[in-house]
Structure 1
Amino acid sequence: MRLKLLLFCALVCLIVVLAEGRERRASSRRPQGLREQRITRNVRQGNRQSARTRPSSSTRKLSAVKKSSKKSQAARKIKNKTKAKTNASAKSKTKALTTQSVRSASGSGSTTLPLDFQQNFVRTTNNLRWEKSFLASRYGQSFATTTGSRTALTNTANMEYTCKMSIGTPKQIFTILPDTGSSNIWVPGPKCTSKACKIHKKYHPAKSSTYTKVGTAFAITYGSGKVTGTLAKDTVRVAGLAVTNQTFAMTTKEPGSAFVESHFDGILGLGFRSISVDNVKPLVQNMCSEGVISNCVFSICMRGGGSSKRGGALIFGSTNTTAYTGSETYTYTPVTKKGYWQFDLQGFYLGSTKVSGSTQAIVDSGTSLIAAPTSAFNKINKILGCTVTSSGECWMKCSKKVSDVTFVIGGKKFVMAGNKMKLKVRTTKGNTICISAVSDMGTSFWILGDAFIRHFCTVFDVTRSRIGFAASS
């Protein structure tokens, strides 16, 4: 009995041992997988944990992209800021330049208007007769008597220096004669039927958005008769300088042949307001009062003769005529009576002979001649030995030698070569002769026209009421 019991216990123990051994073997095979699973889980967990701290390859790429994007954004921000500053600076500069341009366009500075020039022109006796008639109707001796102490000019026959001017919006461009011997602006109007108007540019108020009707009658007397018309207002521009609501005249009648033969459409008066028809405020005075030019002056330099293309310049707001004088040094003399640009000519010499002492003189860019008082004219002709005609010219051979002439102004001597005193003229018979540049108008004062200005640049100082002269180089 005991033996059976012992055998049963031994069998149970063997079964238990065998079972445990089998379990161990199975267990010994499972742990590797479990470890792998645990490792895998740990790796996954570690990856999940490290994902927060250590990026994966794709995460690193994404992070790099983000960083690159952030850097790009930062770079763009810096670039944009720099660009903004640059743009702001550029805008500021542009604004400054625009302002400067506007100031230049509206003034607040100066501008040069070229004078046009016709080459190899020979004036005729008819030209001279008309001009003398023109001067005779313009000037009165009583007015001149006093007790006082870069646009291009065109030179027609050394008689007409013209430049460009526009009126209206949009611009209507005209060829005009800059005239210091008058103070009004006039151009042909739409209703003018005179022959001169038919062949010259007309102003059309209906085509301008800035035109204002005035309607006041206008009339100005020339040698060929009265030029008549009506006043109007519009924007007038010369060389980029604009004056709004400038009063000017639209002509309805331009009598005679003088304006038919002229190369200009109208007149730009540059004299004082006191001689302005209908008391119209002249263009230059409006430029000054409206701040279109900061320096209230204008200058005229003329060139001409032979085949030269240079006509010179009319300069607004500046005395810088170095291109013609080589310097900005002027001899100034006061205006003795406001109206025309009138001053005291202290003396005139032909060679060493004193022809005239202190006498009143007027600078007139609207005439080609130099007109002398009758007594001075007679002395000059006697020295020259020329032949005086009934119409007041002094004819001579073109080969004749003429001594230098001297004008004394403001205590300084201005010398002009004697050969410049001779002007070529074609007669009605087709012959070419020479005459003296000095003519007789029966006045008691001198009229210094283009024959004088061609050799001496002239500054017209409105503010200080003075005239400055510098010899052209």
Structure 2
Amino acid sequence: MVPSKSLSFLLTLPTLALLSLTATALPHPRAASNTATLKLSVRINSNGVKNIAAADRARFRVLQASGSSSVNATNDGTTYTADVGVGSPATYYTLLVDTGSSNTWIGANKAYEPTSTSQDTGGQFSVTYGSGSVSGEEYLDTVTLNSDLVIENQSIGVASQSSELYGLDGLLGVGPVDLTEGTVTNVNEVPTVTDNLYTQGTIGSEVLGVFFAPASSDDSSGELTFGGYDASKITGDINYVSITSTSPASGYWGIDQSISYGSTSILTETAGIVDTGTTLILIASDGFSKYQSATGGTLDETTGLLKITSDQYDKLSSLYFTTGGVTYELTPNAQIWPRSLNSDIGGTTDSIYLVVADSGTTSGSGLDFTNGYCFLERFYSVYDTANSRVGFATTEYTDATSN
């Protein structure tokens, strides 16, 4: 996050997203390839936002404008949180987990309780979002993610002023260190949680694995794996693709990708991002028009989503995402919002809504799509900082019909 630039829109905050990367050769050497997992709790649309398409578009505009700046995760359908301990003995705070930003801060709803491990650095931190901001004082303190993930001298922002977080206490930033530049007054940048886990020898590589089970499944859970990925969550190989060189997508977890609906080309290969902080799958307006025409969906003003009939659903084709020479199939069921959760977004219980939405800008902007949560709940994703690449793999939920 860079305070002088519009970051995300803290409007209603929820879950995870992207990182900006600097290419390096290989990960730093490590004697052991340690990994550790942080389980996440899920809240379904806890913030009360109904028109999630409009909310995602607002985030998308900020992403386009921010370039290499961080954007705080704003998934307006599903929120993933972690209970994080700060201090010794630890006080626990419920934090939004955000791979799209890198500062960790607390104090939005529960006050910071200094202990013997707390060190006031004298620095002031400040981050500006698209719709709000957070500011306060920087401390170094012990952070406990779980018994296997304890960090010494972690930079913590203690908020004296912050935008509404809807019952959450702050944010756990697991993005790259570049995104902390300019956020604290007495340093250029501050080591992130992931940086410190690595340099303190807790994890063996600068890799983050992200898993979501669909919100409509029996196990609507999530987890972050620091130092690698959880092989038990995937059903095939991890296929990697390099970060795109096209700006502004290159400033995040950006990739080059083409999209087809059945045999119909929706977007030729172009740059976009992978973003768990976005709920939907957003595509450039010209591609979205082709998708709407092919599916026959009509725009529902309340939810902002395309609505289709049962007959149209029966005729839906798969949506194909091709990147790095590998094609990922989003089945018809994966293209619809979970019908059991229609009321959570202001929809009617018997309607069928599509999760592909209009980004609001035409293709050629350098950021023409966002593979959001509705894509990532069907595919495991891996974010490899050292090698500037993103990986995907199928899971048991890739072909699920629970929606």
TM-score normalised by the shorter chain: which range applies?
A: 0.7 to 0.9
- List aligned pairs for 1:298-313, cutoff 5 A: 298-306=208-216, 308-313=218-223
Select which of 358, 361, 369 maps to 1:440.
358
Q: Is 1:454 paired with 2:362?
A: no
Select which of 197, 203, 208 maps to 1:293.
203
Aligned to 2:233: 324
Aligned to 1:29: none
Contact 1:120 1:306 in 2 (8 A): no
Alignment CA distance shift 1:358-1:368 (3 Å): same
Contact 1:125 1:427 in 2 (8 A): yes
* CA deviation vs aligned residue, 1:135-190 (integer Å, no higher than 9, x gap): 4334427559xxxxxxxxxxx985112223222111122222222222221222xx
Deviates more, 1:274-283 or 1:460-469: 274-283
Secondary structure of the equivalent of 2:215?
coil
Select which of 98, 103, 112 maps to 1:184.
103
Secondary structure of the equivalent of 1:464?
coil
Select which of 329, 335, 340 maps to 1:415.
329
Contact 2:50 2:345 in 1 (8 A): yes
Alignment CA distance shift 1:413-1:428 (3 Å): closer
Q: Which structure has the bigger radius of gyration?
A: 1
1:265 shift after superposition: 2.6
* CA deviation vs aligned residue, 1:16-57 (integer Å, no higher than 9, x gap): xxxxxxxxxxxxxxxxxxxxxxxxxxxxxxxxxxxxxxxxxx
* CA deviation vs aligned residue, 1:111-132 (integer Å, no higher than 9, x gap): 1111223479897525554454
Deviates more, 1:208-217 or 1:270-279: 270-279
TM-score of the two chains, using structure 1 as the length reference: 0.64
Aligned to 1:244: 152
Distance 1:252 1:179 in 2: 20
Aligned to 2:8: none
Q: Is 1:224 paired with 2:143?
A: no
Q: How many residues align?
A: 337
Distance 1:394 1:119 in 2: 17
Contact 1:336 1:344 in 2 (8 A): yes
Contact 1:288 1:296 in 2 (8 A): yes
Aligned to 1:110: 35
1:340 alignment partner AA: Y
Larger % of helix: which? 1
Contact 1:404 1:418 in 2 (8 A): yes
Alignment CA distance shift 1:356-1:466 (3 Å): same
Aligned to 1:60: none
RMSD: 3.1
Q: Is 1:341 paired with 2:266?
A: no
Contact 1:137 1:221 in 2 (8 A): no
1:409 shift after superposition: 1.7
Secondary structure of the equivalent of 2:194?
helix
Aligned to 2:7: none
Select which of 133, 156, 179 maps to 1:275.
179
Distance 1:183 1:448 in 2: 20
Secondary structure of the equivalent of 2:203?
coil
> Which ranges in structure 2 are unaligned for 5 or more consecutive residues?
1-31, 70-74, 184-188, 397-403
Distance 1:308 1:455 in 2: 14
What percent identity do the matched residue pairs reach?
29
1:216 shift after superposition: 2.7
1:284 shift after superposition: 1.0
TM-score of the two chains, using structure 2 as the length reference: 0.74
> Which ranges in structure 1 are unaligned for 5 or more consecutive residues?
1-106, 145-155, 189-196
Contact 1:365 1:449 in 2 (8 A): yes
Contact 1:187 1:249 in 2 (8 A): yes
Aligned to 2:141: 234
